[in-house]
Amino acid sequence: MSTLVEVAPASPATSIRPAPGGAYALLAAPPRRHGHRLAVFQTIPSALAALRSNKFRSLLTTLGIIIGVGAVIAIVALGEGASASVSDRLSGLGVNVLTITPGSANSGGVKTGAGGATSLKAADADAIASKIDGITGISPVVGGGAQVVAGNQNWQTRIQSVRPVYATIEDWTIEQGTFFTTQDDADASNVAVLGQTVYTNLFPNNQPAVGQLIRIRNVPFTVIGVLATKGAGVGGDQDDTVLIPFRTGQVRLFGANNVGQIVLQMADANLADTVTQQIEPILRSRHELRATQTDDFTIRSNNDVIARVEGVSQTLTLLLGSVAAVSLVVGGIGIMNIMLVSVTERTREIGIRLAVGAEPRDIMAQFLVEAIVLSALGGFIGILLGMGIAAIMPYIAGWTTAMPWNAITLAFGVSALIGVFFGFYPAQKASRLDPIVALRYE
């Protein structure tokens, strides 16, 4: 004889579930959440508990994110340091500077290449300065290699005969003594200013150089100053030079009417194109070039050189950073894979939660929070790893690094987004499980 059990209508806080033996029982369901945001925060403890129950697997899952973030930060730090180092070296070239060099010579159809012609003269520099506005300084340069002797020391170096304004144009600063004056140039005085490399080789152990006598090509010169260090530049060691007055070099050392180059500085970088266009007709007219003849000179802007080198450095940094960022994607795929495995392992748990009143969005929030926590944790550890590598590289390899705070912030944000992106599908899959099917899952 069957027994009838009267079941009262279920309230929103209760739920009817089949009990063992075919009877029915009333199971209390958790109260409704007040807003989805509250539900997410209530899901965080259970998500963290699930991750703690599989500590080693969670660590392995975050390994891809850790390596990716650490590699991105370390590579960008190295790239930023290299860019800063290159910029420091290029700054020695002087800013807003145009350099005019002789063009190529053509003899019998054979071109000698740039600098093969001897077409530039000091008068060309004077003509340019008098006819073009916006030029703050201009200097012809005559130079060549020579043996410099001081006492029992000697050094092979580059001698440059320049006007006093050359120091300002090329951004030279004086460490000891003074630079030669316009009067020294007009009088063709035998005075010299030494670069740091020349100074340290001719006067070791920080011996005083100012006032000392040196010989250049057997011509005596008095040292009146020592330049501050610039370091390596595009053309080699910038400190390996001796500067002397232009007329002194032209008359007493090199005896040439032609000059090796003309350097000039503009008041504004925006004037580079305008000044270049104005220089060309002046020089073509002075060199008596016909319309069919090509220029026998070349004009180069230091700003262009600086911009190109810095652009190459930034491109390499971006390329290397992009390659390192691939591991972030690989780490995200690893998170998705582990979360899918977790959904499969916890199918029965999901069914029970749904059966006692949990909503699909609660299930989805739990798995999404787990994925975000994994990726954010990996991002945090990766930041520490990358910063550590960037900090020790100067001591291990001697490479310059610069801490890229923008890259650190971006890498952490991307790692969190990867957790959302790659965790969404597993979380959605878990939330769409049928509770009846999930309860029967073994």
Of the ranges 10-24, 66-80, 322-336, 338-352, which one carries the lowest mean pLDDT score?
10-24
Q: Is the pTM of this model over 0.75?
A: no
Average pLDDT, the chain: 79
Highest-pLDDT range among 10-24, 36-50, 404-418: 404-418
| Count of other CB atoms within 10 angstroms of residue 397 | 10
Return the structure tokens found at 154: 């000697």
Confidence at residue 365, expressed as pLDDT on a 0 to 100 scale: 79
Q: Which H or E run includes 67?
A: helix 55-91
Of the ranges 12-21, 323-332, 390-399, which one carries the lowest mean pLDDT score?
12-21
Contact 287, 128 (CB under 8 A): no
Query: Which amino acid is it at 423?
Result: G
Q: Is the pLDDT of residue 151 over 50?
A: yes
Q: Is 19 exposed, middle or buried (0-12, 13-18, 19+ CB in 10 A)?
A: exposed
Of the ranges 123-132, 389-398, 416-425, 432-441, which one carries the lowest mean pLDDT score?
432-441
Residues 45-57 pLDDT 10s: 766 776 777 777 7
Confidence at residue 89, expressed as pLDDT on a 0 to 100 scale: 65
Q: Which of 190, 141, 133 is nearest to 165 (CA)?
A: 141
Q: How far is the C-alpha of 370 from the C-alpha of 26, rounded, in Å?
A: 32
Confidence at residue 281, expressed as pLDDT on a 0 to 100 scale: 92
Contact 328, 69 (CB under 8 A): yes
CA distances from 125 to 94, 135, 140, 142 (A): 18, 11, 6, 13
